[in-house]
Chains A and B, each alone.
Chain A
């Protein structure tokens, strides 16, 4: 079993839709949970960052972490064409020398 599994996609939704992106993981030592967004021909950029379990909201984006189920989610409300990108979940163990373990990413397309 891979350490981090992410729905492969791709995903296409109409503008204004609610988008749900998900990852599961197997390593119970993960404490930091991130979502990165990567536009075409660009490097990943941090979108959301959560420590341990719980929810975090930032504008149209909400990140959820359920450590008991080893499951994280990213919700995008009122999706916009500018949200079209690849979304990568990432996780790390405290003190783990900057090593993030990434999901493979899912490409989202928001149709106008």
Chain B
């Protein structure tokens, strides 16, 4: 089954404690991206990757890091989480740049105390 898998699905942490949200896709897609979803703000792109070792910032990259060492994996790293990073995070993948069909994971709900 074609899917994007994120872990953990739920996480409560404290300010400053580094965490990583993993993302893996099994569709051999070139493109992967991270979005956060907040009430009243909708979905906003954090980072994207066009291929292995190629990443770039989206609209709200502050406080986040990413890496793309393998085609299928695109982890999101919060080096020093802060309460304003409390959000619902989605990883997505798509086969190319000119398609609107993003395949989303089921989301990771993060709470930073």
B100 touches A90 (CB 8 A): yes
For window 53-110 of B, CB contacts with A under 8 Å fall at 56, 58-59, 90, 92, 94, 97-102, 104-107
Question: How many residues does chain A have at the interface if contact means C-beta atoms less than 8 Å apart?
Answer: 24
B107 touches A42 (CB 8 A): yes
Known: A42-B106, A46-B102. A96 touches B97 (CB 8 A): yes
Is A72 located at the chain interface by the 8 A CB criterion?
no
**Per-residue interface assignment for chain A, residues 37 to 72, with 1 indicating a CB less than 8 Å from any chain B CB and 0 otherwise:** 000011111100100000000000000000000000
For window 25-53 of B, CB contacts with A under 8 Å fall at 31-33, 40-45, 48, 50
Question: How many residues does chain B have at the interface if contact means C-beta atoms less than 8 Å apart?
Answer: 28
A104 touches B40 (CB 8 A): yes
A98 touches B94 (CB 8 A): yes
Whole-angstrom distance between the Cβ of B64 and the nearest chain A Cβ = 15
Is A16 located at the chain interface by the 8 A CB criterion?
no
19 inter-chain pairs at a CB distance below 8 angstroms, sorted by A residue, are A32-B98, A32-B100, A34-B100, A44-B90, A45-B104, A49-B100, A88-B42, A95-B97, A97-B33, A97-B48, A97-B50, A97-B56, A98-B32, A98-B48, A98-B92, A98-B102, A99-B58, A102-B43, A104-B41
Chain B residues close to A by CB (< 8 Å): 4, 31-33, 40-45, 48, 50, 56, 58-59, 90, 92, 94, 97-102, 104-107
